[in-house]
Amino acid sequence: MATHTVRLHRVLKASPERVYRVFLDAAAMAKWLPPNGFTGQVHHLDAKVGGRYDISFTNFTTGHSHAFGGDYLELVPHERIRYTARFDDPNLPGTMQTTVSLRAVFCGVALDIVQEGIPEAIPPEACYLGWQDSLVLLAQLVEAEIRE
């Protein structure tokens, strides 16, 4: 079974701690992870090594949903997150693995994401587009400095 890999890099004006947290907080994930045109719901999230998460995205225009979930394989606070993902759709078989690496830089944090094992049926360009949308929303969330 052929698969795809995508690699993304961003520099964000936020701390590694803040960016690490946005990947492991259910409310934050529901806000930033769904790409433009989708809503998201986190059904379960147990952010620990061996813990599981389950999420669904719904196309706001059509109402069509797809669900996926996986397991946390590695959590190094403020440095690295590694997790699996499997689609509920049998037409999208296999297990993907995503590695999120964080590195403090003078102006914030360097974020590197590698997603491997993307099912052949999903064009890599579609993954890049989705991640680009999501990362814009992630940046808006973590770069905001709101004082109460």
CATH value at residue 99: 3.30.530.20
**Integer Cα distance of 125 and 130 in angstroms:** 9
User: Is the residue at 60 inside a domain?
Assistant: no
Biggest CA-to-CA distance, the chain: 52
User: Is the residue at 43 inside a domain?
Assistant: no
Number of structural domains in the chain: 1
**Integer Cα distance of 23 and 135 in angstroms:** 11
pLDDT in tens, the chain (148 residues): 689 999 999 999 999 999 999 999 999 999 999 999 999 999 999 999 999 999 999 999 999 999 999 999 999 999 999 999 999 999 899 999 999 999 999 999 999 999 999 999 999 999 999 999 999 999 999 999 888 7
Sign of the torsion angle spanned by Cα atoms 120, 102, 43, 47: positive
User: Is the residue at 54 inside a domain?
Assistant: no
User: Is the residue at 61 inside a domain?
Assistant: no
State the pTM of this model: 0.94
Cβ-contact 143, 14 below 8 angstroms? yes
User: Is the residue at 63 inside a domain?
Assistant: no
